[in-house]
């Protein structure tokens, strides 16, 4: 298979990716690059395959065609052990948080350290407290997830995502269902952690204002293709009518308000 080697400045390089579910083509030969050290947003309406793209990057799904190169490695050509090793360097913040509900905050964050390292409990304790301090929840370490607010649960999940010091974190709709204060905290944390820890962040979202405020580069997906891409300023000034409709939240445009139907008057009086 002919695979073009991506520049070392790109941590993820997606080349001519095609992926289908049944007869529905989710991605149709899309290509995009994610720069190392920045915050890249993948945006688009619900149902455009944004979360599916994260699963393809993580090797949980296999493309019909094309290549996904992560840190100079072709994800879908790796042996299982090598894929697991690569995944340890890829943190994931799930939309639901995906915390284990019957163990404490401390143990949720400690879980990847206990599973994937040979560190003793003293070192694990130090690291867990450091990660919880980074998200402002060291004092909540003895609580269980059921005692947390939605915003706090998302922050605990973020502490767990950075437990193994990954090279990048993928955020699946991090802002969904958050009140204004929790949302502001998450935006601040994503930006600060990316810069402080030297991470690369990939944010999948349809929340325009929050995402465009922290992203360095944005891809907008529509109907299996990249409808537009560029810096936030370039996206705001895009000459694509579809991108403008999505970014402004207009009710009508290339995506019509009315579902295709026969003439209204004819339908009423037939």
pLDDT tens for each residue of 165-205: 999 999 988 887 777 888 888 888 889 889 988 899 999 98
CB < 8 Å & 24+ apart, contacts of 79-87: 83/59, 86/59, 87/58, 87/59
Q: pLDDT tens, 84-101? A: 999 989 988 887 668 888
Other CB atoms within 10 A of residue 21 CB: 10
Q: Could you tell me which CATH class the domain 1-89+199-270 is placed in?
A: alpha beta
Name the DSSP letter for residue 17: E
| Helix, strand or coil, per DSSP, at residue 24 | strand
| Helix, strand or coil, per DSSP, at residue 65 | strand
Task: Report the C-alpha gap between 92 and 105 in whole angstroms.
Answer: 17
Task: Give the residue carrying structure tokens 């002919």.
Answer: 2
Domain parsing of the chain, residue ranges: 1-89+199-270
Task: Report the C-alpha gap between 162 and 244 in whole angstroms.
Answer: 35
Confidence band of 268 (pLDDT split at 50, 70, 90): confident
50 in Cβ contact with 23 (< 8 Å):
no
pLDDT at 218: 94
Task: Characterise 46 by phi-psi region: left (phi > 0), alpha (psi -120 to 50), beta (else).
Answer: beta
Nearest to 97 by CA among 198, 175, 197, 24: 175
């Amino acid at each position: 298979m002919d695979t073009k080697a991506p520049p070392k400045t790109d941590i993820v390089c997606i080349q001519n990716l095609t992926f289908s579910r049944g007869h529905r083509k989710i991605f149709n030969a899309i290509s995009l690059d994610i720069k190392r050290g920045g915050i890249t947003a993948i945006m688009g309406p619900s149902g455009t395959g944004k979360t599916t793209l994260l699963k393809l990057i993580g090797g949980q799904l296999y493309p019909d065609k094309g290549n996904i190169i992560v840190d100079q490695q072709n994800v879908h050509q790796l042996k299982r052990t090598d894929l697991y090793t690569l995944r340890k360097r890829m943190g994931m913040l799930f939309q639901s948080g995906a915390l284990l509900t019957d163990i404490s905050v401390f143990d949720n964050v400690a879980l990847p350290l206990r599973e994937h390292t040979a560190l003793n409990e003293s070192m694990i304790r130090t690291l867990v407290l450091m990660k919880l301090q980074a998200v402002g929840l060291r004092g909540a370490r003895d609580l269980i997830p059921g005692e947390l607010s939605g915003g706090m649960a998302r922050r605990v999940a973020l502490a767990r995502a950075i437990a193994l010091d990954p090279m990048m974190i993928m955020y699946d709709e991090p802002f969904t269902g958050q009140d204004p204060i929790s949302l502001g905290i998450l935006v601040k944390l994503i930006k600060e952690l990316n810069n402080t820890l030297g991470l690369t962040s990939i944010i999948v979202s349809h929340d325009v204002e929050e995402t465009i405020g922290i992203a360095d580069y944005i891809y907008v997906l529509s109907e299996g293709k990249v409808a537009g891409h560029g810096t936030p300023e370039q996206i705001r000034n895009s000459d694509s009518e579809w991108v403008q409709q999505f970014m402004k939240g207009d009710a009508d445009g290339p995506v019509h308000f009315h579902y295709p139907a026969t003439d209204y008057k004819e339908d009423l009086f037939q």
